[in-house]
């Protein structure tokens, strides 16, 4: 059997051209198909790139959003910082005002300190002048009382002589006058004697020595034994230590306090006196307590002033010097003296003295 080509007639030139065209067209179509496939590939690649680009864009947008958030935060932070800065500036402003106030106060204070220093200086000067004039007065009191003693003794002796010799010989009136003169002279002797004793204590310059307060009290009680017995007074006491003082003067202090405790007793109650002592740091605090008439609180300081008394001589005899002497003695030895009392409940006189070194 013949094939189509063997069977077919040889082609004409027109048929040849057509075949060539058709081949060419087929070729073109093939090329075109290839081109189209490439284009498809390219498109796919472009789409992929676009996809990637979109992903990138979304990531960029996220980044942008994050950046914007950060900027937002940053701006909030900036606002806060600005607020803080404003607050700090305000504080600095306040601080400035406060500083100027403090500076002004400081200046005031310095002025005050200056004024105070000047006042202190003036006070020290006055104090010194007072000490000098006090010493002058004490010297005067000593000289006056010492020198007055002699003429007074003479006056006293002669009025007493007058009384003895001429009593009942002139008239009653004359007897009365002479009696008054004798009483006046005796009283004046007591006052001058007290004043002399007071100024002797004030003038004394010896340093205090170790003294047995026990022995000083013994001595005082011995001197007062007659009046104590007469009045039925009972004195109790604690053991007393050694202190720094003058022996005779310490005995005098105890004697003045105990004799006052006896003198200012209540008529209805026999006198009960207790002498005690307590350690107070470097000092000892002594106390003499009684169950007598007591003292009003407002007189607590006054009674230590020389010649100050709260009663008339008819009620209770005395010169008003005893407690002033006690104060002088105690203060000369660096101590203090005071009273705790109220009317009707008795009085407790306290005084302090420096303890002597060593056990007691
Ligand atoms: P005098 O005893 O000579 O009057 P003082 O100086 O000893 O002088 O006492 C002053 C005054 O203090 C006394 O007059 C008296 O009024 C009051 N006084 C002193 N001691 C006591 C006491 N123990 N109880 C009540 N009053 C007292």
- Mark whether 266 and 123 lie in a shared domain: no
- Mark whether 231 and 295 lie in a shared domain: yes
Q: Which residues contact 355 (CB under 8 A, 6 or more apart)?
A: 241, 242, 243, 244, 279, 282, 283, 284
Residue 98 lies in a domain: yes
Domain end marker among 163, 182, 203: 203
Ligand 1: residue whose CA is nearest its atom 16 = 310
What spacing in Å lies between the alpha carbon of 193 and ligand 1's midpoint?
A: 18
Provide the H-helix boundaries in 167-263: 172-203, 213-223, 225-231, 247-263
What spacing in Å lies between the alpha carbon of 245 and ligand 1's midpoint?
A: 23
- Mark whether 217 and 197 lie in a shared domain: no
d(CA 86, CA 90): 6
Task: Provide the residue-wise pLDDT of the chain in tens; the chain has 360 residues.
Answer: 444 545 556 667 777 778 888 888 888 888 888 888 888 888 888 888 888 888 888 889 998 999 898 888 888 888 999 999 999 999 898 988 999 999 999 999 999 999 999 999 999 999 998 888 888 888 888 888 888 889 999 999 999 999 999 888 889 999 999 999 999 999 899 889 888 888 888 777 788 899 999 999 999 999 999 999 999 999 999 999 999 999 999 999 999 999 999 999 998 888 999 999 999 999 999 999 999 999 999 999 999 998 888 888 888 888 899 999 999 999 999 999 999 999 988 999 999 999 997 654
What spacing in Å lies between the alpha carbon of 320 and ligand 1's midpoint?
A: 7
The whole domain housing 60 covers: 15-203
- Mark whether 317 and 193 lie in a shared domain: no
Tell me what pLDDT residue 236 has: 97
- Mark whether 219 and 289 lie in a shared domain: yes
Tell me what pLDDT residue 173 has: 92
For ligand 1, residues with CB inside 6 Å are 256, 260-261, 264, 290, 292-293, 295, 303, 309-311, 318-324, 347
In the block, tokens 């007071």 appear at: 198
Residue 45 lies in a domain: yes
Domain end marker among 154, 186, 203: 203
Best residue among 253, 259, 293, 309 to mutate for probing ligand 1's pocket (most ligand atoms within 8 Å of CB) is: 309
- Mark whether 123 and 155 lie in a shared domain: yes
Domain end marker among 182, 203, 224: 203
How deeply is 339 buried, as exposed, middle or buried, from its count of CB atoms within 10 A (0-12, 13-18, 19+)? buried
Residue 313 lies in a domain: yes
Residue 99 lies in a domain: yes
- Mark whether 320 and 336 lie in a shared domain: yes
Ligand 1: which atom is nearest the Cα of residue 288? 23
What spacing in Å lies between the alpha carbon of 339 and ligand 1's midpoint?
A: 11
Q: Which residues contact 21 (CB under 8 A, 6 or more apart)?
A: none
- Number of domains present in the structure of the chain: 2
């Amino acid at each position: 059997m013949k094939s189509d080509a063997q069977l077919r007639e040889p082609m004409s030139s027109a048929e040849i051209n057509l075949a060539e065209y058709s081949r060419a067209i087929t070729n073109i179509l093939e090329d075109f198909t290839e081109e189209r496939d490439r284009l498809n590939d390219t498109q796919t690649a472009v789409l992929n790139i676009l996809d990637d680009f979109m992903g990138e864009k979304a990531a960029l947008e996220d980044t942008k959003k994050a950046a914007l958030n950060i900027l937002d935060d940053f701006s909030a932070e900036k606002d806060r910082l600005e607020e803080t800065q404003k607050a700090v500036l305000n504080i600095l402003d306040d601080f400035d005002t406060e500083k100027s106030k403090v500076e002004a106060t400081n200046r005031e204070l310095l002025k005050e300190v200056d004024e105070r220093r000047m006042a202190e200086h003036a006070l020290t000067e006055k104090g010194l002048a007072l000490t000098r004039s006090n010493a002058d007065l004490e010297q005067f009191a000593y000289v006056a009382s010492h020198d007055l003693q002699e003429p007074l003794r003479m006056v006293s002796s002669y009025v007493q002589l007058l009384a003895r010799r001429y009593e009942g010989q002139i008239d009653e009136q004359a007897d009365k006058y002479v009696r008054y003169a004798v009483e006046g002279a005796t009283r004046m002797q007591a006052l001058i004697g007290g004043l002399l004793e007071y100024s002797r204590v004030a003038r004394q310059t010896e340093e205090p020595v170790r003294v047995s307060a026990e022995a000083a009290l013994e001595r005082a009680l011995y001197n007062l034994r007659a009046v104590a017995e007469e009045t039925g007074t009972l004195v109790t006491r604690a053991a007393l230590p050694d202190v720094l003082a003058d022996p005779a003067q310490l005995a005098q202090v105890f004697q003045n306090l105990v004799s006052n405790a006896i003198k200012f007793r209540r008529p209805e109650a026999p006198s009960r006196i207790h002498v005690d002592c307590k350690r107070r740091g470097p000092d000892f605090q002594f106390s003499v307590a009684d169950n007598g008439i007591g003292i009003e609180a407002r007189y607590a300081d006054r009674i230590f002033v020389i010649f100050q008394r709260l009663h008339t001589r008819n009620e209770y005899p005395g010169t008003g010097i005893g407690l002033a002497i006690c104060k002088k003695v105690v203060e000369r030895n660096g101590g203090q003296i005071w009273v705790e009392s109220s009317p009707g409940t008795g009085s407790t006189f306290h005084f302090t003295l420096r303890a002597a070194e060593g056990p007691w």
